[in-house]
Amino acid sequence: MDRDDGECDVVAVGTWSFSLKGVECAMHSMCSGMSAVDAVVRGIETVELDESVTSVGFGGLPNRNGFLQLDAAIMDGSTRNSGAVIALENFKSAISLAFLVMTHNRHSVLTSHGASSFAASLITSYPNLIPHIPHDKISSLIESLSKYTNACDTSLYKTVSIPSYVVLHAVIDHADSVGEYALNRFREYLERRDQPRLDEGPSDTVGILCRDKNGRISAGCATSGMQFKDVGRVGDSPMIGHGLYADGEIGAAAASGDGDQLIRFCVSFCVVEMIRNGVTAQRACEQIVERVWKHNRSIQLAVIALESKAGNIGAYASRQGFKYTYGRIPCQALHTDTTANPHVHIQEAKLTEHHIDTFKPPKWSHTCV
């Protein structure tokens, strides 16, 4: 319960059970005093660097040419500022660069080689962004990132300091961005790429929503996209209003599912607008799923939401089997116990009897994002 002096419960919620470590990281970050937007970056990056997660970041499956292309976006509900990168190559993680697009670039979205060039320009000015690269290899990295386009105009950078926790997980050799599991899956794909399409396995977006003790709210998401996708393909995930949205006065939402279909519905924006109109976060998630399924019952959709004022969360899906993670620390605990350990839960979204009776939804089949 929020306090009368304006301090709020610390809350975080994430899509899918694999977001557990990310939500834990986000909760710890906010409990230590970090803002919601910083917590989102740290939380999502934790998931991206986990090679066991095969639809996000380093563990993600490559495109049909064998190259890993990452998408990520972040939105600060307090300022409505946002940043996104699309089809990013030579990186194991994309959310930090999306954050830097938001804070240090005149544009809101950068794609592919433009995003890489922006990273190269940043590294030239701030070599501490890549502590994992030996100093004598930095020039090779910069050359690799900017080989297809000219460097960005650094005079346009916003005069904002870069938080010390922000690190760019760039690699010199393109092949180093693809994990061992992904390489094995790609070889299997090549062996049967001319056969009828089979279920290629999970391809789910990680979305994390956070509210810090000051009531600030933020949303972020990241994905490696549909497995073995066409080069340059992008779904709804990194699109503001689609894969994520945050309004500091109202709430935030994030979606996962069939991105090629969901991009037509502005899912996350609609959920936040429903909350604005007096609907609870839970009911807003239910209503957007019902709206999409009335149009096409084959579309897969999972959505989470977080209310800015009350801190209530919502989660729902078009099919059975969607599990989300969430954590909450009462604001009183932050004052009485400075070592408060946020416990993060995994819970399956329960479909309403009306949804089950009307649509008779099958289990979730992790094939699209």
Q: Which residues pair with 326 in a beta bridge?
A: 13, 345
Token pair, residue 343, equals 């416990």
> Which of the residues 15, 54, 103, 205 is marked catalytic?
205
Q: Which residues pair with 254 in a beta bridge?
A: 244, 304
**55, 61 Cβ separation under 8 angstroms:** yes
Indicate the residue type of 369.
V
| Residue 205: active-site member | yes
SS3 content of the chain, % helix, strand, coil (to 5): 35, 20, 45
How far, CA to CA in Å, does 312 sit from each of 12, 40, 99, 163? 10, 18, 26, 29
Angle formed by the axes of helices 281-295 and 267-276, nearest 10°: 130
Token pair, residue 215, equals 């009531």
Kind plus residue range of the DSSP H or E element containing 141:
helix 138-145
> How far is Cα 180 from Cα 178, in angstroms, rounded to an integer?
7
Q: Which residues of 157-185 are buried (b: 16+ CB within 10 A; e: fewer)?
A: beeeebbeebbbbbbeeeeebbbeebeeb
Angle formed by the axes of helices 138-145 and 112-125, nearest 10°: 150
What burial class does residue 7 get, using C-beta atoms within 10 Å of its C-beta: 0-12 exposed, 13-18 middle, 19+ buried?
middle
**178, 340 Cβ separation under 8 angstroms:** no
Task: Say which residue the tokens 């799923």 belong to.
Answer: 289
Provide Rg for the chain, Cα atoms. 20
Catalytic (active-site) positions: 205
